[in-house]
A and B are shown apart, each in its own frame.
Chain A
C-alpha cells in the first residue's frame, strides 16, 4: 500500500523534472547563440549618419557596413568595397561587393552615392560625419558594382575616412529624418545583424540576417545594453544579465581574471596618452619660475620632463599592464610609426642635469591638468607624474577636472601642462599632428586643439607635402620625418598607448581590437 502510494508521487516528480528539463533545453541552446553585450557609453541615435561619436559608430557597425574598414589591428581592409585603386591623383575607383540589404534588395553604387551624400544633408547633427565626406566633390556611378569618387585635392586619407561612413539603403532611408530612423523599415543595412528595436539609453535588440554576404553570423540574436556605470556593468556580467562587457573596471580586473566563469582579454588600443606642454607662450598661467619666464619654452626642459617620467612604473603599478609605453605617435603597424624612436628610459638624474643646463637648477612650479573621468585611471596617473616631476624639482600640482570642462578650459588656453588622449582614428600619425601640433590655421583646419601653442614652420612644410602625397611608401617616409620633428622638439610628450579590456562568460571567445569599437564580432561562441 505504502509502496503503491509512493510510486505515483515519484513519477510525478520525474514528470516535473522532465518538464523542467524540456523547458530549460531551448533556453540553454538559445543562450549559446544569444549575445547580450554591455557598452560603457550610451548611443544617442540609431541613424548611422547623425552623430559622429564612437559609441554610435560601434552600435551601427553591427547592422551597417562601410566601404573600407579597420581590422582588429587597425589596418584598412576591404568591407563593402572589394578593392579600390587610384585613377589619378584626385579620383578613386571602388569595386563593390555583391551584397544584399536586409530587406532583400541589392546593394549598388546608387546606395553608395546616396550614403556618401547623406551626412552633409543632416542639419541638426551634434557632430557631423561631414568631416569624413568633406573632401569628396563628386561621385560617379560607372555600373552597379563600380563607383568613382573625386576629391577636391589629392587626398590620400580617403580610404581611412570611408571606414566611418556607413552604407544605408537609399530606398529605405531617403527622406527619413534622424529622429524617425529607429524603426525596422528604415534601419536597413547590409551587416550581419538586423535591427529589431531600440530603447533610448537602455538597449538595442538585433537578430541574425541570413542573407549576409559574409556567411552565417555567429549569434542568433544580439542585445546591446548601455551601462555607463562601472558597477552596474560589472554586476550585470556577474549575474548573467549580460554575457559580455567592454571596459572592465580597472579595480575589478584581477577578480575577473581569477574568476573561473569569466574570460578576459586586453589589447593595446590606438589611444595615445600624452602631455601638452605650453611652449608657445612667453608667460603661461600654470608655470612659475624664479626668473619669471616660461621654462617650458626651452626644449631641454621638455626633454627633462620626458626623462623624469617612469612609464614602466605607471604601466606596471597603476595601470595593471594597460599602458604600453611609447615615444611614437602611432602604433607599430600604422603609417608614421618610427621604430628608431625608442621609449625614453627613466632617468631622474639626467633630467636634473638638463634642467640645470637650461638654467633651472632649483626647478620651477607647474600645474598639470588632467581629465578625471575620461582616460583609464587618468587622475591617478597624473598624480604619479606630478610626484615624479616633483622628484626632479619641478614642483607639480594636479588640476583634475571632468572631461566636459577640460575641453573648454584647454581651448581657452588655461593650461600650461595637461595630460590628454588622442585616438588615432585614421590609423596613421598625420591626423593627430594636424589637429594638435600644427600651427593653428583656419583655412586648412589645422591646429584646432593645439594646447601646446607649438608652431614650427618646418613641420608645416612637412605636413603640406605629405598630406597630398598619394604614394603610400613615400608618404610613410615623410610622415616618419614629421613624427621625428614633433618628438625631437617635444611638441607633445608621448607617454603610452592605453589598453582596452573586455570580459565575457566562459564559452565565449573574445577577439580584441585596437580601435575601441566593440561590436558583436568582438565575441564568438567558443568552439
Chain B
C-alpha cells in the first residue's frame, strides 16, 4: 500500500514537472507579455521597466530556473495582470468551477444511471431504443452548440432562465458558493446540464452494457428464484456491481469535466477558472496560465488516487499493491 502510494506520488511529480516545462515554454513562444500589456502610448523606458518588473529581462533558462525554484516552495509567481499571486487569482475562481463540475457530475449520474438501467433491462422496448439512440446525440453534438441552443430556448425564447453568469454567492468555509440560493441554481442549471450531457450519455452506455451483462448472471437468477422483489434485485445486486466501472470512468472524466468548463464558461459567461484561462492566454499572463495547468494537473492526479481507493471500497477483491507484493 505504501509502496503503491510512493510510486504514485513519484509519477505525479514527473507529470507535474513535464507539464511545467511544456507550458512554460509554449506560452513563452506565443509572444512577449510586455508587448501585450504595455499601453500603446508607453515609451521604450516604460516597456523596459515593465520587462524588469516581470523578470522578463533575464534569459529564458534563468527565468525557468527561477520559476522551478519558486514552484518548489509552492510559489507559482505573481500574475502580471492582477499583480497578486497567480494561485490566489485562480483560488478566487476555483469554487465556481468546482461547483459547476460537481453539479454536472451529479446530473450525469442522476440522468445516466436510471436511463441506462431502463435501457439495459428493456433493450428491445421503444423506451430502451429511444434512450440508446438519443445518447448518440449526447456524444456527437458539440457541447458548446448544445449550450447555445439551451440558452436560445430557455433564456431567449422562453425567458425562464438567465442566459449566463453566476448567481449570488454565500461564503461557506471560505468558499463562495452559489448553490444555497434559488437564483444561484437558476444560473447553474443550464451550464451544468450542458456540461453533464456528454457524461450522461457515457453513463447511459456504461450502465446499459453493465445491466445487460449482469442481468444474465447466476446470482440474479438465484435472487429472482428466491422471490426477492424486482426493486431489491436492481438496488442490491445490479446497481452495486454495475457501479464499479461507472465510478472509475466518472472519476477519470471529472478531471476532463473541469477542463471542459473552459468552453462552457466562455459560452455562459460564467466566472470560473476556465474563463480566466482563456482571458489569461489572450493577455499572455504566463504565471496564471502555468498555475492553472498545474492546479488542474494536481486535481487530475488527486482524483485518480481517490478513484483507486473508491474502487477498493466498492470491490473487496481488488487490492492496492505492487507486482512484487
Residues of chain A having any CB pair with chain B under 8 Å = 42, 44-45, 50-53, 123-128, 130-131, 178-179, 199-203, 225-229, 231-233, 235-236, 238-241, 373, 402-411, 422-423, 425-426, 431, 435, 440, 442, 444-446, 448-449
| Chain B min CB distance to A277 (Å) | 19
Which residues of chain B have C-beta atoms less than 8 A from A407's C-beta? 31-32, 35-36
| Interface CB pairs A-B, < 8 A, 11 | A127-B42, A178-B83, A200-B82, A202-B166, A228-B266, A228-B279, A235-B148, A373-B282, A407-B32, A425-B40, A445-B45
Residues in chain A near residue B166, CB distance under 8 A: 199, 202
Cross-chain contact B156 with A126 (CB below 8 angstroms): no
Q: Is the CB of B275 within 8 A of A201?
A: yes
- Could you tell me which residues of chain B, from 27 to 60, have a CB within 8 Å of some CB in chain A? 30-32, 35-47, 49-50, 53
Which of B67-75, B157-165, B216-224, B298-306 sits within the interface?
B157-165
Interface string of B81-107 (1 = CB under 8 A from A): 111100001001100000000000000
Most buried by B among A178, A200, A231, A409: A231
With A and B bound together, what is the CA distance between A489 and B269 in angstroms?
46
Known: A126-B83, A200-B93, A431-B41. A42 touches B151 (CB 8 A): no
With both chains docked as a complex, state the minimum distance between the C-beta of A118 and any C-beta of chain B, in angstroms. 15
What's the least CB distance linking A481 to chain B, in Å?
A: 23
State whether the Cβ of B122 lies closer than 8 Å to any Cβ in chain A.
no
Which chain B residues lie closer than 8 Å to A201 at the CB level?
93, 271, 275-276, 279
**Complex Cα gap A72–B89 (Å):** 35
Instruction: List the B side residues contacting A423 at CB < 8 Å.
Output: 40
Q: Tell which of A125, A200, A426 touches B83, judged by Cβ atoms closer than 8 Å.
A: A125
Name the residue on A nearest B80 (C-beta).
A126
In the complex where A52-B39, A126-B81 touch, is A225 in contact with B269 (Cβ < 8 A)? Answer: yes
Residues of A within 8 A of B21 (CB): none
Are B163 and A236 in contact, CB atoms less than 8 angstroms apart? yes
A179 with B93, Cβ < 8 A, contacts A201-B275, A411-B35 known: no
When chains A and B are docked, how far (Å) is the Cα of A449 from the Cα of B40? 8
Query: Does A124 lie within 8 Å of B83, measured CB to CB?
Result: yes
Residues of B within 8 Å of A123, CB to CB, are: 53
On chain A, the residues within 8 Å of B155 by CB distance are: 235, 238-239, 241
Shortest A478–chain B CB gap in Å is 20
| Extra A-B contacts (13), CB below 8 Å, given A45-B83, A236-B163 | A124-B83, A126-B80, A128-B39, A128-B46, A201-B93, A202-B271, A203-B165, A225-B165, A225-B269, A227-B164, A232-B164, A404-B30, A426-B41
Given contact pairs A131-B41, A435-B41, A124 touches B269 in the complex (Cβ within 8 A)? no
Q: Which residues does chain A contribute within 8 Å of B80, judged by CB atoms?
A: 126
| B40:A435 contact, CB within 8 angstroms | yes
| Bound CA span A404–B284, Å | 7
Q: Quick check: is B268 within 8 A (CB to CB) of the other chain?
A: yes
In the assembled complex, the CB of A207 is this many whole angstroms from the nearest CB of chain B, namely 16
B237 within 8 A of A: no
- The verdict on B212 contacting chain A, using a C-beta distance below 8 Å, is no
Residues of chain B contacted by A52 (CB below 8 angstroms): 39
Determine the residue in chain B with the shortest Cβ distance to A238.
B156
Known: A123-B53, A448-B47. A241 touches B163 (CB 8 A): yes
Whole-angstrom CA separation of A227 from B279 in the bound complex: 11
Task: Note all chain B residues with C-beta closer than 8 A to A231.
Answer: 148, 267
Known: A227-B269, A233-B269. A405 touches B30 (CB 8 A): yes
Top 8 nearest A-B pairs by Cβ distance? A445-B43, A202-B271, A407-B35, A408-B31, A239-B155, A232-B269, A239-B163, A124-B83
**Contact for A179 among B44, B47, B84, B282, CB less than 8 A:** B84
Residues 267 to 319 of chain B near chain A (Cβ within 8 Å): 267-269, 271, 275-276, 278-279, 281-284
B309 to chain A, nearest CB (A): 35
Give the residue name and chain of the A residue nearest to B44 (CB).
A442
Q: How far is the CA of A240 from the CA of B279 in the complex (A)?
A: 25
Q: Which residue in A240, A404, A425 is a CB contact (below 8 Å) of B159?
A: A240
Given A45-B82, A201-B276, A241-B164, A124:B152 Cβ within 8 A: no
* Shortest Cβ distance from A179 into B: residue: B84
Give the CA-CA distance A445 to B151 in the complex, in Å.
Answer: 49
Nearest-CB distance from B304 to chain A (Å)? 29
Distance between B81 CB and nearest chain A CB, rounded to angstroms: 5
* Pair A126/B37 contact, Cβ less than 8 Å: yes
CA distance A425 to B41 in the complex (A): 9
Interface residues of B in 140-161 (CB under 8 A from A): 148, 151-152, 155-156, 159
